Structure 1
Amino acid sequence: MNRWEQLTGGRSGEEYAARFAELAERGQDVHGEARLCATLVPPGARVLDAGCGTGRVLIQLAQIGYDGVGVDQDASMLAVARRDAPRLTWLQADLADFDPAAAGVGSGFDLVVAAGNVFPLLTPGTEAAVAAGLAQALRPGGLLVAGFGLDREHLPVPPSLTLADYDAHCTAAGLTLTDRFATWDAAPYGGGGYAVSVHRR
C-alpha cells in the first residue's frame, strides 16, 4: 500500500476536487503545473500525467492542445477525472509496475509530469523503480517533471525522500537534471522545502 492510500484510504477523490474548485472560485491560480509543462514542450506533444489524481493538470493541458494519458492507483480520484473529461484516457495502475506499452498507450511520451507530491507518497522503496519506469515511457530527449515537498511543512506525511535520493534514482534511470525550480511558476530554487525538478532522457 502506498503512502497516499494509507493517508486517505483511497476515498478522497470528491473531496480533493472540491478543494481545488473552491480555490479556483476564490481566484487562486490552480494551473501552475500545466502552465510550466506548456513552456517545456509545444502544443500537440504527448504527455503522461503520472499520479494524475482527479486529472486537473492533464485536463488543463488537453484544453490548450496537448495529447495525454493519465494514470493513478486511486479509483476515487480517477472517477472524478473520467466524469470531468471522459474523452481522455485514464488508467488505474500502481506506478511501481506501470508499463504504458502493456496498457495499450505505448511509450514515446514527450513529457511525463508527476505533480502533487507523487514521489514522496509512493510505497517506500519503490521510488527507483518508478523513476526507471517513467524514464522508459519517455522518447529520447523527453522530459520528466516532478514537484514535491521535502519537509513536514510541504508534505502531509513525514518526509522520506531527499533531492539527492531523487536525483540518484533519475541518474540510474538514464536521466539528466536540466532545471530545478522552487515553484511551478519557475521561481529559482535556492534550497527550501519544495522543489520542481526537470530531468531529460
Structure 2
Amino acid sequence: MSRWQELTGGTSGQDYAARFAALARGGQDVHGEARFCAALMPAGARVLDAGCGTGRVMIRLAELGYDCVGVDLDASMLAVAQQRAPELPWFQVDLADFESDLLGIAADFDLVVAAGNVFPLLTAGTEATVVERLAAVLRPGGLMVAGFGLDEAHLPVPPGITLAEYDDCCAAAGLSRVDRFATWDAVPYDGGGYAVSVHRR
C-alpha cells in the first residue's frame, strides 16, 4: 500500500480540492507548477501528469494549450478531476505498474511532471521502478520534473526519499540532471527542505 493510501484511505479527493479552492479564493497562486512547466516547454507539447490528483496542474496546462494525460491511483481524486474536465484523459493506475501501451497511450511525452509530493508518498521501495517507468515514456530529450518535500516540515509523512537517492534513480533510468530549484517559482535550491528537480532523458 502506498504511503498516500495509508495517510488518506483513498477518500480525500473532495477535501483536497476544497483546500486548494479556498487558497485560490484567498488570492494565493495555485498555478505555480503549471507555470513552471510552461516555461520549460512550448504550448502543444505532450505532458504526462504523474500523480495528477484532482487535476489542478493538468487542467491549467490544458487551458494553456498543452496535450495532457493524467494518471493517479486514488479514485476519489480522479473523480474530482473527471468532474472538472471530463474531456481530458484520466487513468487510474499505480505508477509502479504504469505502462503506456497497456493504456493505449503513445510513449512520446515531451514532459513528465510529478508534483504534490508524489515520490515521498509512493509505496516504500517502488521509487526506482516509478522513475524507470516514467522515464520510459519520455521522448529522447524529454524532461521529467518532480517537486517534493525532504523533511517533516514539508511532508505529511516521514521523509521517504532523499535527493541523492532520487538522482540515483534517475541516473539508473537514463536521466541526467538539468537543474534544481527550491520552489516552483524557480528560486535556486539552497539545501532546504523542498526541491524541484529537472532531469532530461
Q: Fold conserved (TM > 0.5)?
A: yes
> C-alpha root-mean-square deviation of aligned residues, in Å?
0.4
Q: How does 1:114-125 map to 2 (within 5 A)?
A: 114-125=114-125
Q: How does 1:150-165 map to 2 (within 5 A)?
A: 150-165=150-165
Q: Quote the residue 2:171 is aligned against.
A: 171
Is the aligned partner of 1:48 residue 2:35? no
Instruction: State the Cα distance separating 1:187 from its structure 2 match.
Output: 0.2
Q: Quote the residue 2:94 is aligned against.
A: 94
The TM-score normalised by the length of structure 1 is 0.99
Gaps of 5+ in 2: none
Instruction: State the Cα distance separating 1:155 from its structure 2 match.
Output: 0.2
Q: Distance in 2 between matches of 1:40 and 1:11?
A: 33
Q: Quote the residue 1:189 is aligned against.
A: 189
Instruction: State the Cα distance separating 1:28 from its structure 2 match.
Output: 0.0
Is the aligned partner of 1:127 residue 2:133? no
Q: Which runs of 4+ in 1 moved over 4 A?
A: none
2:55, 2:70 within 8 Å by CA — same for their partners in 1? Answer: yes
SS at match of 2:140: strand
Q: Distance in 2 between matches of 1:101 and 1:47?
A: 16
Map Cα deviations across residues 123-178 of structure 1 (whole Å, 9 max, x no partner). Answer: 00000000000000100000000000000000000002100000000000000000
Identity of aligned residues (%): 72
Instruction: State the Cα distance separating 1:63 from its structure 2 match.
Output: 0.3
Q: Distance in 1 between matches of 2:160 and 2:33?
A: 23
2:51, 2:71 within 8 Å by CA — same for their partners in 1? Answer: yes
2:121, 2:160 within 8 Å by CA — same for their partners in 1? Answer: no
2:47, 2:109 within 8 Å by CA — same for their partners in 1? Answer: yes
Map Cα deviations across residues 12-37 of structure 1 (whole Å, 9 max, x no partner). Answer: 00000000000000000000000000
The TM-score normalised by the length of structure 2 is 0.99
Q: Which amino acid aligns with 1:149?
A: G
Q: Distance in 1 between matches of 2:51 and 2:156?
A: 16
Q: Quote the residue 2:142 is aligned against.
A: 142
Q: How many equivalent pairs are there?
A: 201
Q: Which amino acid aligns with 2:142?
A: G
Map Cα deviations across residues 96-141 of structure 1 (whole Å, 9 max, x no partner). Answer: 0100121111110000000000000000000000000000010000
Q: Distance in 2 between matches of 1:55 and 1:182?
A: 23
